[in-house]
Every structure is written in C-alpha cells, then in structure tokens.
Amino acid sequence: MSDTETKPSSNFIRHIIDEDIRNNKNNGQVVTRFPPEPNGYLHIGHAKSICLNFGLAKDYKGGCNLRFDDTNPEKEDMEYIDSILEDVSWLGFEWLDEPKYASNYFGQLYQYAIELIKQNKAYVCSLSPDEARAYRGSLTERGKDSPYREQSIEENLDLFERMKLGEFDEGAKVLRAKIDMASPNINMRDPILYRIRKVEHHQTGNEWCIYPMYDYTHCLSDAIEGITHSLCTLEFEDHRPLYDWVLDQLQTPSHPQQIEFARLNLNYTITSKRKLKQLVDEKHVHGWDDPRMPTISGLRRRGYTPASIRDFSDRIGVTKVDGIVDMSTLEFCIREDLEHSAPRAMCVLNPLKVTIESWSDDRVEDLSAPKHPKDESMGRRTLKMTQVIYIDRSDFEEVPPPKYKRLTIDQEVRLRNSYVIKCNEVIKNEQGEVIELRCSHDADTLGKKPEGRKVKGVIHWVSEQYSLPAEVRIYDRLFSEENPDGAAKKHEDADSHFLDFLNPDSLMVMNEARAEISLEETQPGDSFQFEREGYFTADPDSGADKLVFNRTVSLRDSWAKAGSK
C-alpha cells in the first residue's frame, strides 16, 4: 500500500457520523480522541484504534486529541509516555494541539465530584474492599446499600475534603456514586469515583493523594475537550450507562457519544498489556521492542512499515463482533508494501565455501545488478565476482532428491546475476561434513544461456573477499498455540498458563551470514529483500564490525501450508 489517497472503507461508525452530520449534530463537527493509559507500550490492537480515531478525524476534516489516561500513577511511567508519542507519530498521524493528560483536569474533576456530593448523588464510603465486594452482589444477586450511603451531604463534603488532605490511609475510604445497588448492570451499583493513592504522579507530583477512576475521568475529559464521538472497544459497552449518567448529572460543556467496536485479537500472540509486561519483566523476550512482540515498537524494529499497519487496519475493518484475525493478513500487508519499496540484495545465511578453479585467484570482476527488477529508478548495484565465493548450504546436495534444481555433483546452476558454474569435487572434514566445493565456470554465460544445454536452477551467492559479516535473526510466531489464553483454559492441567505455550523456536540466530558488499552503508531501519530468503531490516544492534538483520517476513506464506510447528 502506498501513501496515496484511497477511498475509506465504510463501517457502522461512519454511518453514525454521516447521520449526525445530516442532522447537524455537533454543528457537523467530528472530534475524536485516542486515550492510552501510559502503563505499557502500545500494541497492534492500539494501532487499529489509532488508525480509526485519527483516520475518521482526517476524513471528516475534524481533529483527534491524544490524551493520556494517567489516573493510576502506580503503574505509569514517562518511558511509556515517550514510546506512545513516538508510535502515534511514526504511524503518520498528528494530534490536535499539544498532547493532553487526564491529570490536566484533576482540579475540574474534583469540583465536579463536589457538585455530585452536593446533589446527594455521591457519598464517601468506609467499607473495606472485601466488604464492598460482598455488598456489591453478583450477576444473579442484587447488591446491598452501603451503611454509609445515607450520610448527610455536609458529612460527605467534610470526609471528601479530608481524603484530599491525606488524613486517611489507602483503602480506608472511597467516593462512590449514588445510583442503584439493585441495577442488573453491576457497573451502575454505586461505582467508585475516587480512591486514595499516596504515590507521586509523573505529571502532578505530590499535589494529589486521591485519584479519579477511569469511568468517571474518561467521560468528563471527553466532555471538557469537546469530543463528539468517543470510540472504545466492546468491553466498555456495559460501562456506557455510567458514562452517560455522570454527564447527565453535571453541567458539562458537551455530551459526547460513546460508540463501541470490536477489539483486535491476533492469533499466535496476545494483546494484553499486563501479559506483555509479564513477558518483558520475566525476560521471556528481550524487551518491549523485541521483534516477536505485537507492540508497535516491536513491529517497527522487525521492519513493518507505517503504511503496512495502516493497510492492515483498513483491511480487517470495524465491526461490532469480536473475532480473531489471522497473522497472515498482517504479513500479507507488509509483503505488499516491501515488494514495491524494498531494494534487492543477496545474503548467504548459512555459508558454504566454493572455489572456482577456472577463475584466477587475483581476478575481480564487477557485475551490475538492478536494485529492484521492476523499478529502474532505484538504480543499480555492483557485485564483486572472485575466485572464492559463498553459497548457502541448502543449495547443495551430494545426493539430491528427485527434481532437485540446485547445485550437485556434475550438475550446473546459475549464480544470480553472474555465470553458470558446475561442481566438480566435494571437500569434507574428518567428520564427513562438506566444507568446500571445487567448481568451474562457463565464461560464455554472463547474461546469456549456455549453448546446447539447459540450466534449471539459479542460486544466490556472495564473494568471500568482498562480503560483509552479518548476524541474521529469523523470527517465528511467539506462541505455538493459535489462542494461548484459550489453550491454557482448555488444558487438562488446572495450573496451565499462557506462558506454557511459548514457541521455543520463535527466534533462530544465524551468526555466520555474509551479505553482499553493496550493503556496507546500511543504516538501522533500512529494509531489503534478500533474494530467495525473504524481507529483512537492519537492526539497531548493527555495528561497524557486523551488520544485524531481522527477518520481517518470508517471501511467501509458508505457515498456512505447514500449520502449527
């Protein structure tokens, strides 16, 4: 997919917005927001939400706010804020004005809470957490009123002020909305609006020791910012009555509309920030940006492009039904992008030495090859042909299987963009392993077919003298089960855990690879198609002594045919 304009895909949210515009609701304006909690790195599910919120705002000539939901400072960190800013910008989107924080509104939220108390619609509850859970009831049993529910307005105002001043311990008191303990929707059974947390906040320092809950903060932040369409995933559908209740009780600048859509679930991975953090903390992966992780930073390091992720988000669409998207859809999108944008190069992952005895040992011939076979504007690259070269071990068989089309004894192959060679002798070590091939070349086959015979195979190669040492990292699915969480729940072992299904072969490191000399100026983030091997991206670990490449994706989808490994 290119960055050129395409017609947006229709979906039920667009239908709602179109109807609102026809009715001149919100004066025909569309203002959305992306509200991440800075307690981890963003993942591919967040990328879908980013593309949806920012994309709708752009298509309807509106705006989208980036607002950090920073109401839980115990789990939040500036590292996460910085990573989120980078991810959203990298995906190609711009937010309105400066990034916003829910903490910007703490003063206003506190005053709104005072107003609810004065309306006798909120009260300070002193039940312990265990008692509160017991009073809450269940899906089949109605809740019971808190014994503190009928405290006077004056007493609630005094207690709430003392909560703010830090006079009570954490967990001793909370501010609750007074709604309906018999409601069939548990979210409406006097939900908590504020709790005590005596912890320093990354934006407000020690100014506050009470922090508002998400459901209370989110709707009011939307209203303060003039959001017209508040898009969230389906798990918040049962929270919408509370969203509307809070706004209905207060004189807010606006009353946004909450709309829910299905979240993105991708097979062979997980998209729970809590579980992703566990993978990082327990060192099952090498950080949040490990290329096996479904985080945006991990996908970026692996070589995925912003265009491919935007294309993926558009292809999977927006629905009201949860489902699991196949990883191959994401891989298809990056193949589509890199097929057109990635220059070609040769890299031998598992080198086997080849000596061309018909080639003089001091002869070096420059060969010209296109950087892209279908895009002449990319230019050409120079390959160095010498007596000693490397081919991949997989391209030679001493005893070939039927219909074998690569190098073997007395069988010819063409070296990519070079000559036809023939294997005459195999050199082995004491263990019987092939360590070198002695070959000859046909000097009359550069750029043309040999006379009187047909060469069936073409293999890639690099010069021994004019090649670069490289480390190549081959990535596979992070989990061996399509649905790691589901597999854990279905497993006969009651203690089964999603970590039990980590794929032990998710990373294979090839330390002895050799890359063609044209890659010597490669910078981290540069992507290439290594001919016959796949698409690869230079990793930040690359240094002057060795290039490091991550395989972004194979040339074709072999997983679908092979099945689970």
The 10s digit of each residue's pLDDT in 64-100 is: 999 999 999 999 999 999 999 999 999 999 999 999 9
Assigned domain for 533 exists: yes
Assigned domain for 34 exists: no
Q: Do 402 and 474 reside in the same domain of the chain?
A: no
Q: Which domain holds residue 312?
A: 267-341+470-565
Choose one of 449, 465, 481: the last residue of a domain: 465
Q: Do 357 and 422 reside in the same domain of the chain?
A: yes
The confidence band for 557, taking pLDDT boundaries of 50, 70 and 90, is confident
CB 26 within 8 A of CB 225: no
The two three-digit tokens of residue 263, written as one number? 């979240």
Assigned domain for 75 exists: no
CATH number at residue 371: 2.40.240.10
Check pLDDT > 60 for residue 494: no
**What pLDDT is stored for residue 7 in this prediction?**
57
Q: Do 336 and 396 reside in the same domain of the chain?
A: no
Mean pLDDT of the region 267-275:
94
CA 393 – CA 381 distance, rounded (Å): 25
**Whole-Å CA distances, 132 to 142, 236, 238, 324:** 13, 22, 20, 36
Choose one of 465, 495, 521: the last residue of a domain: 465
Q: Do 378 and 444 reside in the same domain of the chain?
A: yes
The confidence band for 105, taking pLDDT boundaries of 50, 70 and 90, is very high
Assigned domain for 257 exists: no
Q: What is the mean pLDDT of the chain?
A: 94
**Whole-Å CA distances, 460 to 344, 393, 396, 474, 506:** 12, 11, 12, 18, 26
Closest residue by Cα to residue 318 from 233, 218, 238? 233
In the set 48, 67, 136, 273, the catalytic residue is 273
Q: Do 331 and 351 reside in the same domain of the chain?
A: no
Check pLDDT > 70 for residue 3: no
CB 340 within 8 A of CB 1: no
The two three-digit tokens of residue 521, written as one number? 């100026």
37 catalytic, yes or no?
yes
263 catalytic, yes or no?
yes
Q: Do 458 and 547 reside in the same domain of the chain?
A: no
Q: How many CB atoms lie within 10 A of CB 467?
A: 25
Q: Do 196 and 127 reside in the same domain of the chain?
A: yes
The 10s digit of each residue's pLDDT in 32-54 is: 999 999 999 999 999 999 999 99
The confidence band for 180, taking pLDDT boundaries of 50, 70 and 90, is very high
Mean pLDDT of the region 425-453:
95
Amino acid residing at 127: L
Assigned domain for 228 exists: no
Check pLDDT > 80 for residue 208: yes
Could you give the number of structural domains in the chain? 3
Lowest mean pLDDT among 145-154, 448-457, 461-470: 448-457
The 10s digit of each residue's pLDDT in 285-332 is: 999 999 999 999 999 999 999 999 999 999 999 999 988 999 999 999
The 10s digit of each residue's pLDDT in 232-266 is: 999 999 999 999 999 999 999 999 999 999 999 99
- Per DSSP (E only), the strands in 171-281 are 174-177, 192-196, 210-212, 229-233, 257-261, 265-266
More confident residue, 176 or 487: 176
Q: Do 494 and 404 reside in the same domain of the chain?
A: no
Choose one of 465, 494, 512: the last residue of a domain: 465
Mean pLDDT of the region 513-523:
97
Assigned domain for 420 exists: yes
Assigned domain for 219 exists: no
Beta bridge mates, 527 = 537
Mean pLDDT of the region 102-123:
98
Assigned domain for 493 exists: yes
Mean pLDDT of the region 92-111:
98
CA 68 – CA 46 distance, rounded (Å): 13
In the set 14, 25, 37, 121, the catalytic residue is 37
The two three-digit tokens of residue 277, written as one number? 């953090």
Check pLDDT > 60 for residue 138: yes
CA 212 – CA 68 distance, rounded (Å): 14
CATH number at residue 161: 3.90.800.10
Concatenating the DSSP letter of every residue in 38-60 gives SSS--BHHHHHHHHHHHHHHHHT
In the set 25, 121, 197, 263, the catalytic residue is 263
CATH number at residue 512: 1.10.1160.10
Q: Do 461 and 474 reside in the same domain of the chain?
A: no
Amino acid residing at 95: W
**What pLDDT is stored for residue 486 in this prediction?**
77
**What pLDDT is stored for residue 1 in this prediction?**
40
Q: Do 445 and 532 reside in the same domain of the chain?
A: no
Q: Do 393 and 457 reside in the same domain of the chain?
A: yes
Q: Do 478 and 562 reside in the same domain of the chain?
A: yes
